[in-house]
Amino acid sequence: MKKENIFSKLNIKDYNNELENILAKKDFSVDTKNLLLNMAYKIENAYKDYLKIKQEVLTKNDYMEKILKIVDDKCYEFITIKPSMPEFEEYKDNKYTIDREKGKIIVIQNEYYALKALLELPKVKWCILNDYGLLKDPLCALLSSGSIMHETEVLRDFDGWAWNISINNIDNISINLIYQNLVYLIGNDFLIKWIENTQGMVDYVALLHLNLENKYTKEFSDKVLNLISKLAMETNMSKQIIEKKNYLYEELKLFENREEYLANITKSKKENMAKIDRIDKIVNNKELLQEEYIKRNSVLENEEKIFSIKRLKIILEEERQNCLDEIKALNDMIDPKKYVNKKTILERDYNFLNDLNVSGIDEKKKIELCKCTLKAFEVRVDIAQTREELLNLVYEIRYYRYIQFNETKKLKEIKELYISFYKVMIKLIKKLIDFKWAETISLSKALNLRVLIKIFDSKIIDLENIIIETEHIDEKIVIQYYDSNVLENQFEINIGNIEKSIILKKLKLKKKIKVFN
């Protein structure tokens, strides 16, 4: 969990009061000022739970400072549409509009949509270099959309009392899933630095790859970047991507037929040599030069006409050099080593694009990305050495299980992820028990694991408040989970005759036990 700076703790701020001072300078209506003050109050009220549940988020101070700065520096006009207003019909579906140039927001009277509009108001350009070609725009769109869903979650799913996931308000479930995987793979701090980009033209994609390689392995980093790149393109499939794939296919066809490939190169070289020969004859013959001058100008518009013979000679020399450059490139293409290298690159690029699902996001790729994240969680469990590190991982994995995979299922309900989830949860529980940071109820290790693994299904906000109580009824053990003294859930475990004696030996019955020591 991100901790507040010690000085920020000593200097506790009243953000509602700060917002009131900012709003006093704004020419906003009373309705708008009340809406923004209510929004700030709800954020402050919910943020502690949001931070506890999700872990990888901004500190409350940093988050509130960010919102206040947007209101103060970026927002010049804010219009609130109440349900009683005639304009409400126009906005009841889209909820809000923003005009970045004017710093203007029009939003229905709702704190969540007010927050969403504010977060979208600043023009944020994720630093992705042009070198990434067709990946640049889809990846930028994915990161922009994902970060907004990430940061509005505090009002979307939290109210200061409970954690209730509002599926209907998740703009794009797949993009949210991909972004949340990034959050837990690389960390929210890295993504914030990428958004703020205070260092200029930095290759953050390469930095992402390097960070993942340092944390895990190069093979792991390659796989994650490959999956995220493909998923980003599938979320925003463009005509240019399809055209590029078709172009690479045609290029590969030429490479596959080596005889035809060499024949085409020879033909192109001859054509360029003929052009050079023609240019040389024209440049060295005044009459031919004059004829070329007249011929070219006869088909050019006035603003494009060649204004002198001297200028024509320069143009012809440039054309001659272009032909020489083309011949050199063609010679490179028939060099055996360069031929193999170019063919390898073409095959790689084509196979990448050919693996894209042109009709939408490939769910198999989403599952593979989730498996990578769960593998990363396993590595983090292995290296964790403190109680705080292990408990933070319990929170993160518990949250991760509740991320929506599609319109009907959460990650914990995806059967292809059952084993991956089970492995990391068991590893984490065993480590907590070994370090005596988690209490057990029996001498049976299997029973202890079956009981404690249920923690990852609990929606109790503060897991350190979890208390369990057991009762033996016939061939069953009834396990009750409490949030302090409030019963949250109970479940039964059937016990067979073989393990019954082990399980019941020193089983802590009808005794409330605090799970985390």
- What's the token pair of residue 65? 């400072």
Binned at pLDDT 50, 70 and 90, residue 506 comes out as low
According to the model, what pLDDT value does residue 477 have? Answer: 83
pTM of the model: 0.84
Asked if residue 501 has pLDDT above 70, the reply is no
Residue 143: pLDDT above 90?
yes
Query: Exposed, middle or buried: residue 142 (CB in 10 Å: 0-12, 13-18, 19+)?
Result: buried
For residue 472, give the nearest of 514, 507, 515 by alpha carbon: 507
Q: pLDDT for 364-390, tens place per residue?
A: 999 999 999 999 999 999 999 999 999
- Residue 478 tokens, joined: 């009834």
Alpha helical stretches, state H, 128-238: 136-156, 173-186, 188-196, 204-215, 218-235
pLDDT at residue 498 in the model: 47
Give the residue, 196 or 227, on which the prediction is more confident. Answer: 227
Which tens digit of pLDDT belongs to each residue from 224-259? 999 999 999 999 888 899 999 999 998 888 777 777
3-state secondary structure 193-208: HHHHCCCCCCCHHHHH
Does residue 483 have a pLDDT over 50? yes
Confidence band for 200, pLDDT divided at 50, 70 and 90: low
Predicted pLDDT at 66: 95
Report how far residue 197's alpha carbon sits from residue 124's, in angstroms, rounded to the nearest whole number: 10
| Distance between CA atoms of residues 268 and 266, nearest Å | 5
- Residue entry with tokens 């109440």: 82
Helix 136-156, helix 218-235: angle, nearest 10? 90
pLDDT above 70: percentage of residues in the chain:
94
Q: Between the ranges 143-147, 312-316, 342-346, 479-483, where is the mean pLDDT highest?
A: 143-147
The Cα–Cα gap between 511 and 468 comes to 8
Q: Give the Cα separation of 23 and 33 in Å (integer).
A: 7
Say if residue 439's pLDDT is above 50: yes
Rounded Cα gap, residues 406 and 177, in angstroms: 9
Question: Do residues 394 and 455 make contact, with C-beta atoms less than 8 angstroms apart?
Answer: yes
Tens-digit pLDDT profile for residues 94-140: 999 999 999 999 999 999 999 999 999 998 778 888 889 999 999 99
CA distance 318 to 332: 21
Mean pLDDT calculated for residue range 418-445: 93
> For 318-344, how does the pLDDT look when each residue is reduced to its tens digit (9 = 90+)?
999 999 999 988 888 777 777 788 888
Q: How many CB atoms lie within 10 A of CB 59?
A: 16
* Range with top average pLDDT, 143-152, 232-241, 332-341, 433-442: 143-152
Cβ distance 121 to 103 under 8 Å? yes
Dump pLDDT digits (tens) for 66-83.
999 999 999 999 999 999
Of 83, 171, 174, the closest CA to residue 364 belongs to: 174
The answer, yes or no, to whether residue 5 has pLDDT greater than 70, is no
Radius of gyration of the chain (CA): 32
Tell me, what's the pLDDT at 10? Answer: 45
Percent of all residues in the chain with a pLDDT value above 90, rounded to a whole number? 66
Mean pLDDT value across the chain? 90
Question: What average pLDDT does the segment 481-497 reach?
Answer: 83
Per the listing, tokens 């207003």 go with: 85
Distance CA 396, CA 463 (A): 12
Structure tokens at 13: 């701020």
Q: What is the pLDDT of residue 3?
A: 52
Q: Is 440 within 8 Å of 430 (Cβ atoms)?
A: no
Give the mean pLDDT of 177-187: 97
Query: In Å, what is the CA distance from 143 to each residue of 14, 124, 360, 450?
Result: 32, 10, 17, 38
Domain regions of the chain by residue span: 6-120, 127-236+363-437, 248-353, 439-517
Angle 486-491-497 from CA coordinates, rounded to 5°? 140
Question: Which pLDDT does position 266 carry in this prediction?
Answer: 87
| Helical ranges in 402-470 per DSSP H | 418-434, 445-452
> What DSSP character marks residue 435?
T
